[in-house]
Amino acid sequence: MRQAFQERLHSITDRLVEMTGLAGEQIRTSTTALLEADIRLADEAVAADVLLNRSQLEIEERILELMATQAPVARDLRTVLAAQRSSSDLERMGDLAVHVAKIARMRYPDVAVPAEFRSTFRDMGRTAEAMATKAGTVLRLRDLGAAAELASDDDEMDRLHRSLFVVMFDPAWHRGVEVAVDVALLGRYYERFADHAVNVAVAVRYLVTGELDGLAATAR
């Protein structure tokens, strides 16, 4: 019975790691669609969200079954709760990638972001994808060092996010309100994507240590 329970927990973790890969691929596709005004890729990113949604629902069902039949306690209970929280965060990361793709689609055939923002959004996309990959490592290995690195990566995403407003608040800004709204929304989507990746790390830290806060302290 105990072995079967552990095997079910491992299968849930494997599914979560798969979700990080899907989220990383989805944000990469959305970013390319955004920067290249590629409507085909935008549609692919939107359609791919079905896989993340399905995975999240399946994990929720498995967790409910384990809670009802095994009544886990102590570390096992923390594992189940961390998995439940992580699946929700990963599903939300997919939703945010969809929001990026929808703006790319809405502005097609034009590129949604002006030239002065392209390098920043390219960096935001790369950072987001890397954070999704690192979240997979954290989940698979329960690596607190990688979890702490995600906090640093989030700082970089926040820096990139703030840099968008430096340009938009400059008195020389001439792109108008519509572009400003698109840029502000897009920046928020990437910033929130990163936040959810950090939430996965926080959940794993809770699993390993029983603590919900203090992630930044691990980096030191």
CATH number of the domain that 87 lies in? Answer: 1.20.58.220
Lowest pLDDT segment from 29-33, 192-196, 206-210:
206-210
Within 8 A by CB and 6+ apart from 106, the residues are 112
Q: Considering the chain, what is the average pLDDT of its residues?
A: 93
Residue of higher predicted confidence among 207 and 95:
95
Percent of the chain with pLDDT over 90: 83
pLDDT tens for residues 113-154?
Answer: 999 999 999 999 999 999 999 999 999 999 999 999 999 999
Average pLDDT of 5-13? 88
pLDDT tens for residues 56-106?
Answer: 999 999 999 988 888 878 888 899 999 999 999 999 999 999 999 999 999
pLDDT number for residue 218: 42
Domain range spanning residue 40?
2-219
CB 19 within 8 A of CB 52: yes
Amino acid at 204: V
Q: For Cα atoms 113, 119, 122, give the angle at the middle one, nearest 5 degrees.
A: 85
pLDDT number for residue 213: 64
pLDDT confidence bin for 217, thresholds 50/70/90: very low
Q: For Cα atoms 85, 196, 213, give the angle at the middle one, nearest 5 degrees.
A: 70
CB 194 within 8 A of CB 153: yes
Q: How far is it, in rounded angstroms, from Cα 84 to Cα 120? A: 33
Average pLDDT of 44-64? 95
pLDDT number for residue 216: 45
Based on the structure, what is the number of domains in the chain? 1
pLDDT number for residue 212: 65
pLDDT confidence bin for 167, thresholds 50/70/90: very high
pLDDT number for residue 1: 58
pTM: 0.93
- Whether the per-residue pLDDT at 214 is higher than 60: the answer is no
